[in-house]
Structure 1
Amino acid sequence: MEYTKEEAGYTMTTVAEEAARCLLCHDAPCSRDCPADTDPGSFIRSVRFRNFKGAAETIRENNAMGAICARVCPTERYCELACSRTEIDVPIDIGGIQRFVTDFEQQADMDILKKAPANGKSIAIVGSGPAGLQAATTLLQKGYAVDIYEKKGKAGGYLSYGIPEYRLPTDIVEYEIKRIKNLGAQFFYKQVIGKDVTLDHLKENYDGVILAIGADSGKMLPLFENNPYAETAISFLAKARENKGQIDLPEKALVIGGGDVAMDVNVTLKLLGVEHVTDVVYEEFSEFKASQTELDLAQKHGATIVDGYVPESVDGNEVTFKARNMEGQLTIKADKIYLAVGQKVNADGLPLPLENEEVKFNGYQTDDSQVFVAGDIAKGDKTVVWAVQKGKEAARAVDQFLGGKDDDK
């Protein structure tokens, strides 16, 4: 499998066969357990009867990032975990069906989302990751004018700068963003709030502001600070994606971390031809943070994963780990060390009370009634599908604050 090549999905025949396995549950549990309310129960029913246009409409009415979530959502934690079919054999491949439907939508050049008549009010959104993009879509559908301020040179946030190409092709991200532009969203790039434009300026010129700030910087453990052999996973993945894999690579790589980002690093290194990739993880397999799908993929591609060890000391490119739950040490010497140990928010210049990379309060409206939050800095899971839900809820909160009616759309 090439670094930039996505695995093949369903055909029209095979997707109908998979949808036919659906039990057509009343009050479908898969739909109840989708954080973004994408309603898989309804769109699978449509696919079962070969109404692909209806399936696409169901997805888009609830999730502006439908094609992206189809590829990167850890469905085994949410909708597929709740699938009634698991009591018989295996759950319906909800993500795979959603991918087929959104691919069909793109190939058929469907224009499903519509902007409502202008209501005379405008919103500024800071950050163009999934939460910001979804918030923009929801607000445009309610008649607001929306301007999005992005500090980097292109939109998408971690979708464009982090998730590897083999999992999330660039053309899919660009397709989703293009549709939101077509709805009427205006994008302003290389705009750092607090430097290029102030929050006060946004408050003066817009009726409301949503801060959809992502955790886009990797954390570095104190042991590895200023170590020339160490690099954060976020930095590595961004370089690999931006350069289509054409980057300097080690012969022997050590990865530290056990989440989905760590698995992305493992697979990316192997796909790019790194012979020896060893990932040492704090958690034991029974408590792993990575999704089973991502863990299986990393092992399938030949990454060695050692669970239950914590870094104890570092000497240049040699790291000694201590076993958490037994006596013993492990020492590994590598050409390069990649740390996937969490991400941090850069909210410099913004009056946000952050604690553990999240705002301290619950909800979306800050102490400044005109300013709202969404995305990674809002409380909740850090997955794309949760970002979509936070974006929708923040947009509804803004709408209610400005006197709109809660039509749940």
Structure 2
Amino acid sequence: MDNKYLEEIESSYSMLTIMEEAEKCLLCLDAPCSKACPAGTDPASFIRSVRFRNFKGAAETIRENNALGAICALVCPTEKYCEMGCARSEIDKPINIGGIQKFVTDFEQQTEMEILKKGEANGKKIAIVGSGPSGLQSAASLLQLGYDVTVYEKSEQAGGYLRYGIPEYRLPNAIVNYEILRIANLGAEFVFGTTIGKDITMDELKAKFDAVIIAIGASQGKMLDLFDNNPAVETAVSFLSRARDNQGNIDLPKDALVIGGGDVAMDVVTSLKLLGVKHVTDVVYEEFCEFKASKKELEGAQNQGVTIIDGYYPVAVKDNTVTFKHRHLNNELAIEAEKIILAVGQVVDPSNLDIEVENNKVLTSGYQTDDKKVFVTGDIVHGDMTVVWAVKKGKEVAAEIHEFLGGNN
């Protein structure tokens, strides 16, 4: 196996280069970068602190606003959010906010800073079903408000898609472990290998806790009918999980065809190339002008030599050969590959959770369901399915529960 899969692709700033990058900040009074961050991580404040070499203050700003700040620094599509708002863009290019955030959170870890503190106990208990990013953030927010928090996870480790989906080269397990340990140190109790509805019922949870948060993610890969029961076909979620679980030590095809154009598809194609698959082709429904993947992930795939064909969708498949038709042109193409991987979306599994899901979402204006003791967050509620949006939702559901339980009185 090529060990590039286990190596971070992006390099980090040094003390010299971090100061050079931070000094590009225009110190805007209205801070458009901070306004554009869904999680409210406040890049304007932490960049200002870095400029004055106050790295401790910068770390405090990040961590107090975002319990997963080190993870977001690595995987957040900053060009869609804070960097899009950066006023520096009108001069040359936006500040590398993600890079600065990574430097600060690395400093936080290296100096063993303990920023978040558990709030004074209020005697109330919250259960969280699922330990993905939104569940983890809601746990951290509630612990700081004085609640006892128990997180139920069906897998043997916490993290959800952070651990089982995002490739190691983008998000090392060491960072995931670091973030989760901080939340555990705040007092979160994790119960692993437990499936709600099977090992313990929702009614039992509601009887034991003052409120229950369902924070399940869209963890199952979507399969298209054309490809059903085809032994050459695997979903992106399955492939990424296998690769990560085995540190990249998996059987590899001599060539691969990937269908899909989001960030997950880019994770798949880049992983395949880093693992040593020579020929990787990605066929995408969207044309480049409407691409769903972040610019950074698309460029990363292209830099690895992935062949990307835009504007086509599959119309037929026979064994290892897929026929595609162009969306606008009267044109078809056929591609044969030893392995076919579908990155065409993910679905949630709400089985036995007593919630109604339509198109992967729970229809609620906020986070509270018709059952007043049950709240939802993460991929199954409104908003983007990104880590930074998961953090936003986790903070908001915690605030809604706090108000519901009389915490603001």
Match of 1:317 among 320, 345, 367: 320
State the alpha-carbon separation in 2 of the partners of residues 362 and 313 from structure 1: 40
Q: Give the residue type in structure 1 aligned to 2:178.
A: Y
- Equivalent in the alignment of 2:161: 158
Q: Give the residue type in structure 2 aligned to 1:371.
A: V
Would you say 1:55 and 2:58 are equivalent positions? yes
Which residues in structure 2 correspond to 1:190-269 (within 5 Å)? 190-269=193-272
- Equivalent in the alignment of 1:356: 359
Which residues in structure 2 correspond to 1:7-156 (within 5 Å)? 7-156=10-159
Shift of 1:27: 2.0
Match of 1:308 among 311, 318, 334: 311
Match of 1:272 among 264, 270, 275: 275
- CA deviations on 1:298-319 (whole Å, 9 max, x unpaired) are 0000000000001000001100
Shift of 1:355: 1.1
- Tell me the SS of whatever aligns to 1:2: helix
Moved more, 76-85 or 2-11: 2-11
State the alpha-carbon separation in 2 of the partners of residues 321 and 311 from structure 1: 4
State the alpha-carbon separation in 2 of the partners of residues 8 and 77 from structure 1: 21
Would you say 1:405 and 2:408 are equivalent positions? yes
State the alpha-carbon separation in 2 of the partners of residues 288 and 356 from structure 1: 22
Shift of 1:13: 1.2
Between Structure 1 and Structure 2, how many residues are aligned?
406
State the alpha-carbon separation in 2 of the partners of residues 242 and 104 from structure 1: 28
Would you say 1:2 and 2:32 are equivalent positions? no
TM-score by length of structure 1 reads: 0.99
- CA deviations on 1:153-196 (whole Å, 9 max, x unpaired) are 10000000000000000000000000000000000001111000
Shift of 1:8: 2.2
State the alpha-carbon separation in 2 of the partners of residues 205 and 352 from structure 1: 19
- Tell me the SS of whatever aligns to 2:258: strand
- CA deviations on 1:378-409 (whole Å, 9 max, x unpaired) are 11100000000000100111111000118xxx
Q: Give the residue type in structure 1 aligned to 2:42.
A: D
- Tell me the SS of whatever aligns to 1:125: strand
Give the root-mean-square deviation of aligned CA atoms.
0.8
> Any runs of at least 4 consecutive aligned residues in structure 1 with deviations exceeding 4 A, and if so which?
none
- Tell me the SS of whatever aligns to 2:4: coil
Identity of aligned residues (%): 67
Match of 2:329 among 323, 326, 344: 326
Shift of 1:232: 0.2
State the alpha-carbon separation in 2 of the partners of residues 363 and 146 from structure 1: 21
State the alpha-carbon separation in 2 of the partners of residues 400 and 126 from structure 1: 20
- Equivalent in the alignment of 1:390: 393
Shift of 1:67: 0.2
Q: Give the residue type in structure 2 aligned to 1:235.
A: S
Match of 2:289 among 286, 289, 310: 286
State the alpha-carbon separation in 1 of the partners of residues 155 and 262 from structure 2: 25
Moved more, 397-406 or 52-61: 397-406
Q: Give the residue type in structure 1 aligned to 2:230.
A: N
Is the Cα–Cα contact under 8 Å of residues 18 and 100 in structure 2 kept in the other structure? yes
Q: Give the residue type in structure 1 aligned to 2:79.
A: E
